[in-house]
Amino acid sequence: MSNKQMLAQKDTSAWILQVWLSFILAVSTTAVGIAYLPVDIWVKGFMGMGLTFSVGSS
């Protein structure tokens, strides 16, 4: 066995920015898509709840 220290990987600020921007873009475009669906309001609400629970579980 070697006595090498495990180095903790540090995420760069550019990577963190990309992750947050892609997450915000994906959620917002999905929400806008749900808002513009040509269906009844209860279907939009159902889809919105599905989006909320999907985001909350990830």
- Banded pLDDT at 1 (limits 50, 70, 90): low
Query: For all residues of the chain together, what is the average pLDDT?
Result: 92
**Cα R_g (the chain), whole angstroms:** 19
Q: What is the pLDDT of residues 33-45, one digit of tens each?
A: 999 999 999 999 9
Residue 7: both structure tokens together: 């180095």
Residue 42: both structure tokens together: 């209860």
Question: What residue spans define the domains of the chain?
Answer: 13-56
| Per-residue pLDDT at 36 | 98
Mean pLDDT on 11-21: 95
- According to DSSP, residue 6 is labeled P
